[in-house]
Amino acid sequence: MPANNLPKGKLGETLAADFLKRKGYQILLRNFHCRWGEIDLIAKFQNILIFVEVKTRWGTPFGTPEEAVTPWKIRSLVRTAEYFKMLHPTTPAQMQIDVVAIELNQQGKLLRINHLTNVTG
The CATH class, in words, for 3-116 is alpha beta
Task: Give the global pTM.
Answer: 0.90
What is the per-residue pLDDT across 86-111, written as a single tens digit (0 to 9) for each?
A: 999 999 999 999 999 999 988 888 99
What is the domain partition of the chain in residue ranges? 3-116
Q: Residue 17 in contact with residue 30, Cβ under 8 Å?
A: yes
What is the per-residue pLDDT across 39-76, written as a single tens digit (0 to 9) for each?
A: 999 999 999 999 999 999 987 677 889 998 999 999 99
